[in-house]
Amino acid sequence: MKALDLKNLLEVSFSIGKSFSPITEYIYINKNIVKATNLEFYLETTLNEDLPFSGCVLKEPLQKFLNSIDKNTELTFEINSNVLTINYGKKNKFNIPMESLDSFPERPVTKYTENSFVSNLLLTQGVMEEFERAIKFVSDTDTKFNGIFLVGNKIYSSNREIIYANVIDKLQQYLLQI
């Protein structure tokens, strides 16, 4: 496999930042599945082809290695204990620490079903005014608290300090008609 091909295949996984947990410094690679996380976001990519190794590989050294060598360099891979050895050139080797696939955190189970999502909504003047009131309480900095949530005829928003909650009477009537 050429260095540029591997770099392109892992490009999405390289884009996710680190978190406070050391396991987020790894990329999960198992055949054609590649995962990366910072424990807030989970990225999972399914490739068209299997990669020539499996395991959780340290992201930063792998990325720096792929950026530093010629893009047409042919790479071969060996796994020895918890180390991925990348052979390139005639006798050059680069070692990267690995962890087992079981060490990688799994994506949390989604608690929403298809019925949880509003797929059709009549935007009346009253609903828009309610959205305007709720948007004042969303966070500008925390991605977990940067939206407005509709559950039945209730509307919620929060910035981690204040929770906005209200009932929209006409919204429930409209949702029952859908």
List pLDDT tens digits, range 146-173.
788 877 778 888 887 888 888 877 554 4
Structure tokens at 133: 């009131």
Q: What's the predicted TM-score (pTM) here?
A: 0.59
Question: What was the pLDDT predicted at 10?
Answer: 84
More reliable by pLDDT, 29 or 12? 29
**Domain count for the chain:** 2
- Distance separating alpha carbons of residues 96 and 137, to the nearest angstrom: 45
For the stretch 125-149, pLDDT in tens is 877 888 888 888 887 777 677 788 8
Asked whether residue 89 falls in the same domain as residue 47, the answer is yes
**Domain boundary at 103, 123, 148, which?**
103
152 Ramachandran zone, left/alpha/beta (phi>0; psi -120 to 50) = left
For the stretch 28-41, pLDDT in tens is 999 999 988 877 77
More reliable by pLDDT, 84 or 11? 84
Contact of 73 with 2, CB cutoff 8 Å: yes
CATH number, position 71: 3.10.150.10
Asked whether residue 97 falls in the same domain as residue 138, the answer is no
Task: Determine the structural domain holding residue 30 and report its residue range.
Answer: 3-103
Residue 108 lies in a domain: no
For the stretch 60-106, pLDDT in tens is 899 899 999 998 999 999 998 889 999 998 889 999 989 888 888 87
**Domain boundary at 52, 77, 103, which?**
103
